[in-house]
Amino acid sequence: MSEEHKQPLQSSLRVQELVYGLRISEVMTSKVFAVSRNCTMRDVQTIMKNNSITGVPVVDNKRVVGIVTMNDLMNALEQGAMEHNVTKWMVGEVQTLAEDMPLSFAISAFGKFSFRQFPVVNKKNELTGILTFRNINHALIRELSRQLREMEQKNEQPEEPESLKFSKVYQLNRYDFENGGKASSEIKKFLKERGVPPKLVRRVAVASYELEINLVAHSIGGMLGFDINENRVKISSHDRGPGIADTEKALTQGYSTANEWIRSQGFGAGMGLPNVKRVSDEFAIESALGMGTMVQAIINLKPETENENK
């Protein structure tokens, strides 16, 4: 199997895609054990013990006001304070996750904070679930097995070498302008060699280059994934932060948060994301402060679906 070495990259793209598509609400545990302000540490201990969990949110009228973790419980135990109110021992300022966020943001959050679980809230800020690493692992394994099965089925019909099929993930590091552009050049060459019309190649190049530079100039690092078939080019950009405060603004021509140094490299004109959106047939962006940004751009390759005005 000469293609064996390609497999990890493909899988990594698939994981990225997987995370891109999944929402926290699909993965979290919806049955949450929570306590109210007037419960005692003893109550928390009983709940933890009976349900083998390590963190219990404290709620007031469905809003999360704190969380008691195994750590807090141990401290209370040491001080003989098990009959104390939870409010004395809980961690008050809780980092919550919104249930409609993509799963990748949760993964960023686990990387950023040392918490073992995050309470999940809905739009009204009410507790709807809890998310642990365990939830994420389960979801990933389930989805991966499903996709591996699909891949195995596909492998039974091998692709021709010159066909328009390609998937690859590129890693990009912050401020690495030296390598920003490499992925785009490779993709451009790949499409050109397979006779894709120059106008389409250019659109793919614009979207991919802008996303590449965005990762280098604005994110703390991330991945750029390409998934190409004869119908379309799908570009997914995925970073670990810092996230965009206002995506609406970021899509406005001329708006930029670039510093002087980035500008000295010729970037930061505030045209990056608007350029990507303009050349794409389908465009989606999601971002949350502290967790990251994801952009997906699709460019159709089939003439009947191609937008001639771009």
Footprint on this chain of another protein (rule: CB under 8 A): 177-178, 180-181, 184-185, 188, 198, 202, 205-206, 209-210, 213, 265-267, 269-272, 274-275, 278
Calculate helix-pair angle for 198-218, 272-279, nearest 10 degrees. Answer: 150
Whole-angstrom distance, CA of residue 131 vs CA of residue 144: 19
Choose between 68 and 279: whose C-beta lies nearer to another protein: 279
Rounded CA-CA distance 1/227 in Å is 22
In the bound complex, what is the minimum distance in angstroms from residue 271's beta carbon to another protein? 4
Nearer to another protein, 270 or 290 (CB): 270
**Minimum CB–partner distance for residue 233 and another protein (Å):** 14
State in angstroms the smallest separation of the CB of 264 from another protein.
9
Q: Which is nearer to another protein, 170 or 209 (CB)?
A: 209
Nearer of residues 114 and 309 to another protein, judged by Cβ:
309
Cβ atoms within 10 A of the Cβ of 101, count? 19
DSSP bridge pairs for 296: 236, 284
Say if residues 233 and 299 touch (Cβ distance below 8 Å).
Answer: yes
Task: Report CA dihedral (251, 255, 260, 263) to the nearest 10 degrees.
Answer: 60
> Shortest Cβ distance from residue 205 to another protein (Å)?
4
Q: Is 197 helix (H, G, I), strand (E, B) or coil?
A: coil
Q: Which is nearer to another protein, 93 or 178 (CB)?
A: 178
- In terms of Cβ atoms closer than 10 Å to its own Cβ (0-12, 13-18, 19+), residue 247 is middle
Pick 51 or 252: Cβ nearer another protein: 252
Q: What is the 3-state secondary structure (H, E, C) of 127-158?
A: EEEEEEHHHHHHHHHHHHHHHHHHHHHHHCCC
Q: Which is nearer to another protein, 63 or 277 (CB)?
A: 277
CB of residue 57 to another protein, shortest distance in Å: 45
- Residue 272 Cβ vs another protein, minimum distance, rounded to whole Å: 5
Q: Which residue, 43 or 210, is less far from another protein as judged by CB?
A: 210
Rounded distance between C-alpha atoms, residue 121 and residue 25, angstroms? 9
Distances (CA, A) of 65 to 12, 60, 87, 91, 95: 37, 6, 9, 9, 10
Residues 113 and 96 sit within 8 Å (Cβ to Cβ): no
CB of 218 to another protein, least distance (A): 12
Min. distance of Cβ 201 from another protein in angstroms? 9
Residue carrying the six token digits 């201990």: 45
**Number of Cβ atoms within 10 Å of the Cβ of 134:** 11
